[in-house]
Copies of this chain bind each other. A is one copy, B any other.
């Protein structure tokens, strides 16, 4: 091809500076739509949000823009093919729905009336995830302007769902039904963040998740602990013993087979994690917790990013009201969730949890165990060429070296990885202080524009390093 894939930094920055005001005005318009997927009375707003985004993507230049209905809220899909048939295909993922927000939750201003203060844009969705979806619009325009192209250097696809804040109940089916159109060489997820304002980072993976509820049944009804106590099995005791058996004395998960296949951290990864400016006291304040606690032999960052866990999310049984009631309860339940790391198969984990749980219970206690659909872990190796491209593009935008993190949470990105068979890369410019899911959510305007700038370099870098064989 004749035209360049490399973007001149000053050309990119000039372009962004020139279009910055309009870009922010447009984003503010989108943020005014309260697209809260968890609240049915906002269903129309979520639909309006999808339509608004579709129009904006059309105005950006995407030749194909479609609103995809689901059994729940609609997603938006857009395509912009490269004029180079050998270019790689990239699918960008984000979401246009937002968490609930109300002024009285502690917002200083109306959550759906965006305001800029101190170079920060405050609104629900500013960082999670409308802001981070929207930087792709100005980003691709800057990429074209700075390279003199009329089509992107990569085949660009966007999928922006409308139910992420409601656990993406229809996302997997949507991706499966449209797998051919969504086919990509890499997925770029713009729904995470980076380490801090001063430390740009690329996330290389997310943990997976499988969770279950275990219900334990003892007596057919609550019985009197005086008449029967000490002589029949108590399901609340059984539930507690089950939970206590989850971990050994080193806080390591004690379920046989749980760690099967786990990809261990390499020395290089441990060294990279250790380089991050991590302040454990500060981290504990963020965690609202009063001491670290976890698997022996691993640091806090390793524990939350790269180690699988078992956590109790809920436990209940018997009398929980005020005062006392001397019963042996008829039943008890525990909700357990397991975070998974690369190499762990959720189906195998489900099997070993079921086998283990069945073996823990005393005679006279019956159990039921129910698993929710699992989310697989995803991890892109540090030497993957697309990951190197993201890091380079980000480093150019931020004028400093980029480090690597992971994400302890789990997300629908894993469905894209699994269904499409493509590696998942994370490109996010949000910082921990942005207040995702909290009052006064904001995005730092400088960082938002660095997101724009990163994508302006990224498509060219990817195309240059990762061309398809002709």
A232's closest neighbor in chain B, by CB? B289
Which residues of A from 237 to 291 have beta carbons under 8 Å from B? Answer: 237, 239-247, 284, 287-291
Question: Which chain B residues border A244 with CB–CB below 8 Å?
Answer: 237, 240-241, 243-245
A362 on the B face (CB < 8 A): yes
Q: For the complex, give the distance between the alpha carbons of A225 and B339 in Å.
A: 8
CB pair B364–A408 under 8 Å, yes or no, is: no
A237 and B246 contact, Cβ closer than 8 Å, known pairs A289-B223, A315-B315: yes
A174 on the B face (CB < 8 A): no
Question: Which chain B residues border A245 with CB–CB below 8 Å?
Answer: 244
A147 on the B face (CB < 8 A): no
Which of the residues B288, B311, B316 comes within 8 Å of A316, measured between beta carbons?
Answer: B316
CB pair A339–B226 under 8 Å, yes or no, is: yes
Q: How many copies does the complex hold?
A: 2
A229 and B324 contact, Cβ closer than 8 Å, known pairs A218-B289, A243-B241: no
Which residues of A from 313 to 359 have beta carbons under 8 Å from B? Answer: 313-320, 323-330, 332-335, 337, 339
Residue with the highest number of chain B CB atoms closer than 10 Å, among A226, A231, A236, A239: A231
CB pair B223–A311 under 8 Å, yes or no, is: no
A24 on the B face (CB < 8 A): no
CB pair A232–B409 under 8 Å, yes or no, is: no
Beyond the given pairs A230-B311, A240-B334, 14 more chain A to chain B contacts, judged by CB atoms under 8 angstroms and listed by A's residue number, are: A211-B326, A230-B339, A232-B289, A233-B291, A237-B244, A237-B312, A311-B328, A314-B318, A314-B329, A315-B317, A320-B333, A323-B372, A324-B335, A325-B335
Could you name 13 residue pairs across A and B whose Cβ atoms are closer than 8 Å?
A226-B407, A230-B309, A231-B300, A236-B312, A237-B246, A291-B363, A312-B317, A312-B329, A313-B319, A313-B327, A313-B328, A314-B317, A315-B318
A residues lining the B interface (CB < 8 Å): 207, 209, 211, 213, 218-221, 223-234, 236-237, 239-247, 284, 287-295, 300, 303-304, 307-309, 311-320, 323-330, 332-335, 337, 339, 362-366, 372, 407-410
